[in-house]
C-alpha cells in the first residue's frame, strides 16, 4: 500500500513494535501493560505489524490461569543492516539482522589518511563479500558508518576532520546509498561507541545518562541523555579533544590550534613524550624499546610502565590527570550516572584510570559524584560495530520514519529515508 501511516496511529504502532523488539517472550497481555494502551488498540496494532511482515508468532507462553497467550517476536530475518566502523588505523565491518544480532564480521588494518577512495573502496569490497556469503537472498535495509572525525549528522558529511586528509565534505552517505540502494547514516566513531555500549551493556542501559570517553589516537566523548544519543545542533557535541588546557598552551595540535587536550594527552602525544624520555635517557626501559624497534608507540609506554619504569608511569599518570580534570567539568555540568572509559590508552589500566578517577572525584561537585560510577568499556572496539548497527535500527524504527516505509513493508530501495528531519535518536 502506498503512502504513509496516519499520524494518529504511528506512535502506538511504534510503541508496540518497540516493546516486541526489545523484550523476549512478549504477549498481547504484556504489551497492554507495558505500552499503556487498551487491549483492542494493541490487538489492532499487532495485526497491522503482522500484515506488514514485521512481527510473527513465536509460540505459546505459559498459561496464567486462562488460555495460553501467543508470544510475538520481530521477524529479524526480514532484512539485514551493515555496520561499518572506520578508525584511524583499522576498521570493522559486519552484517546484522533486524534485532541487531551480528551474523558476519571482519576486521582489517587500514590508514584513514589514505583517503576516502582507497578506504571506502575497500569497504565496498568487504561488504559485498559478506552480503554474497551470508545474505544473498536478503534485502539491505540500511547502513551505519562511523568515522574518526567530526560529522554533520543531518548531512552525513565529515567536516574538517584533523586526521582524515581528503575526507572533508566527502559524500559517504550518497556513495553508499547509490551502491546498495539503501538509507545510510554517518556519525562520529565515539558516538557509535557510546551507542554500542548503551545497547549491549545492561549497566549502561540502566544508567540512561552516561558519558563515553575514548582516549586513543584522539580524544572524544559520546553523550547519552535519557537513553538517547545527544549530538547537539550540528553533530559535534562531546568533542573534548580540542578543548583548551593550560599545560598545552605552547603545543600545536594537529587541528592547527595550540593548547588542545589531545595534543598533550592523546596517543600521539604519549608516543612523542615517550620518545623524548627515551632519547634523553630519562627512561631506560623506553630507550631499550626504541633501540630494538626503531620506534616508540603509546602501547610501548604502557609496556614500560608495567615493567616498573618510573618515567613511563609518571607520563601515564599525567595523561590521566589531564583527561580527568577536563572530564570533571563535564561531570559537574552534565551529571551523568556512568562514565565509560574506552580507547587504546585505557588499556594502560590503573596507570591511567586511577588518575582519571582521582581527578574527577576531586574536581567535580560532590553532588555530581555522589552516585557516579566510572568503569572501562565492556565491549571494546566491538562496541563501535554494534553502535553502527543500532544507529540504523534506531533510525529506521523511529516513529516518523517508520510511518514513511511501513506501508511498503521494507525500507530497502529507499535511500532518501536517511535525508531530511533527524530522528529520535538524535537530540
Residue 125 belongs to domain with CATH number: 3.30.420.40
- State which residues form the domain around 344: 203-376
Cβ atoms of 158 and 165 closer than 8 Å? no
Confidence (pLDDT) at 84? 98
Q: Where are the alpha helices (DSSP H) in 236-381?
A: 261-265, 267-279, 284-293, 298-306, 310-334, 350-363
Distance (Å, rounded) from C-alpha 422 to C-alpha 88? Answer: 27
**Sign of the Cα pseudo-torsion (182, 187, 189, 193, in order):** negative
Statement to judge: residues 182 and 241 lie in one domain? no
Residue 269 binned pLDDT confidence (cut-offs 50, 70, 90) = very high
Residues paired with residue 83 on neighbouring β-strands, in sequence order: 94, 144
Secondary structure (3-state) at 351 = helix
Please check whether residue 66 lies inside any domain of the structure.
yes
Is pLDDT of 147 > 90? Answer: yes
Per-residue confidence band for 22, with pLDDT thresholds at 50, 70 and 90: confident
Assigned domain for 187 exists: yes
What digits encode the pLDDT tens for the residues 178-232?
999 999 999 999 999 999 999 999 889 899 999 999 998 889 999 999 999 999 9
- Give the burial string for 150-186 (b: 16+ CB within 10 Å, else e): bbebebbbbeebbbbeebeebebbbbbbebbebbbbb
Label each residue of 58-108 as H, E or C: EEECCCCCCCCCEEEEECHHHEEEEEEEECCCEEEEEEECCCCCEEEEEEE
Q: Do 392 and 324 reside in the same domain of the chain?
A: no
CATH number of the domain within which 20 lies:
1.10.10.10
- Buried-exposed string 279-296: b where 16+ CB fall within 10 A, e elsewhere: eeebbebbbebbeeeeeb
Residue 272, pLDDT above cutoff 70: yes
Q: How many helices (H) and strands (E) does the chain have?
A: 15, 15
Residue 53 lies in a domain: yes
Residue 235 in any domain: the answer is yes
pLDDT one-digit tens code per residue, 281-311:
999 999 999 999 999 999 999 999 999 999 9
Q: In this structure, is residue 225 part of a structural domain?
A: yes
Average pLDDT for 337-341: 95
**Pair (187, 237) in one structural domain:** no
The verdict on 159 and 136 lying in the same domain is yes
CA 246 to chain centre: 30
> What's the structural domain count of the chain?
3
Helix/strand/coil for 24: coil
Between residues 153 and 234, the one the model is more confident about? 153
In this prediction, residue 381 has a pLDDT band, given cuts at 50, 70 and 90, of low
Compute how many other C-beta atoms are within 10 angstroms of the C-beta atom of residue 138: 16
Give the three cell numbers for residue 137.
537472498
Give the whole-angstrom CA distance, residue 276 versus residue 322.
19
Amino acid at each position: 500500500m502506498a503512502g504513509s501511516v496516519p499520524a494518529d496511529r504511528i506512535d502506538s504502532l511504534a510503541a508496540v513494535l518497540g516493546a516486541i523488539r526489545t523484550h523476549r517472550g512478549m504477549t498481547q497481555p504484556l504489551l497492554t501493560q507495558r505500552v499503556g494502551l487498551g487491549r483492542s488498540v494493541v490487538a489492532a496494532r499487532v495485526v497491522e505489524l503482522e500484515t506488514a511482515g514485521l512481527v510473527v508468532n513465536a509460540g505459546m507462553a505459559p498459561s496464567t490461569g486462562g488460555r495460553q497467550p501467543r508470544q510475538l517476536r520481530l521477524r529479524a530475518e526480514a532484512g539485514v543492516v551493515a555496520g561499518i566502523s572506520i578508525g584511524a588505523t583499522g576498521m570493522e565491518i559486519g552484517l546484522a539482522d533486524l534485532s541487531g544480532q551480528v551474523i558476519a564480521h571482519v576486521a582489517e588494518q587500514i590508514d584513514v589518511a589514505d583517503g576516502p577512495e582507497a578506504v571506502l573502496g575497500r569497504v565496498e569490497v568487504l561488504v559485498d563479500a559478506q552480503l554474497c556469503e551470508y545474505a544473498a537472498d536478503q534485502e539491505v535495509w540500511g547502513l551505519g558508518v562511523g568515522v574518526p572525525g567530526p560529522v554533520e549528522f543531518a548531512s552525513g558529511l565529515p567536516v574538517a576532520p584533523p586526521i582524515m586528509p581528503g575526507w572533508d565534505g566527502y559524500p559517504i552517505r550518497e556513495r553508499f546509498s547509490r551502491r546498495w540502494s539503501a538509507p545510510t547514516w554517518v556519525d562520529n566513531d565515539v558516538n557509535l561507541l557510546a551507542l554500542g555500549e548503551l545497547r549491549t551493556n545492561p549497566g549502561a542501559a540502566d544508567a540512561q545518562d552516561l558519558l563515553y570517553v575514548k582516549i586513543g589516537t584522539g580524544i572524544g566523548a559520546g553523550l547519552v541523555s535519557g537513553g538517547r544519543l545527544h549530538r547537539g545542533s550540528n553533530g559535534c557535541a562531546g568533542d573534548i579533544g580540542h578543548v583548551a588546557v593550560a599545560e598545552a598552551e605552547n603545543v600545536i595540535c594537529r587541528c592547527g590550534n595550540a593548547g588542545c587536550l589531545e595534543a598533550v594527552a592523546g596517543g600521539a602525544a604519549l608516543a612523542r613524550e615517550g620518545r623524548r624520555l627515551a632519547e634523553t635517557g630519562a627512561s631506560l626501559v623506553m630507550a631499550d624499546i626504541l633501540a630494538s624497534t626503531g620506534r616508540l608507540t603509546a602501547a610501548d609506554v604502557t609496556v614500560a610502565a608495567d615493567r616498573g619504569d618510573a618515567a613511563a608511569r609518571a607520563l601515564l599518570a599525567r595523561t590521566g590527570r589531564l583527561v580527568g580534570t577536563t572530564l570533571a567539568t563535564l561531570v559537574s555540568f552534565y551529571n551523568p550516572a556512568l562514565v565509560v572509559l574506552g580507547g587504546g590508552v585505557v588499556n594502560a589500566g590503573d596507570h591511567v584510570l586511577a588518575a582519571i578517577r582521582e581527578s574527577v572525584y576531586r574536581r567535580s561537585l560532590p553532588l555530581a559524584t555522589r552516585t557516579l560510577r566510572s568503569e572501562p568499556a565492556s565491549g571494546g572496539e566491538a562496541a563501535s560495530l554494534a553502535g553502527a548497527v543500532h544507529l540504523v535500527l534506531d533510525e529506521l524504527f523511529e516513529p516518523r520514519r517508520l510511518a514513511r516505509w511501513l506501508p511498503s513493508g521494507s525500507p530497502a530501495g529507499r535511500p532518501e529515508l536517511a535525508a531530511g528531519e533527524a530522528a529520535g535518536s538524535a537530540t
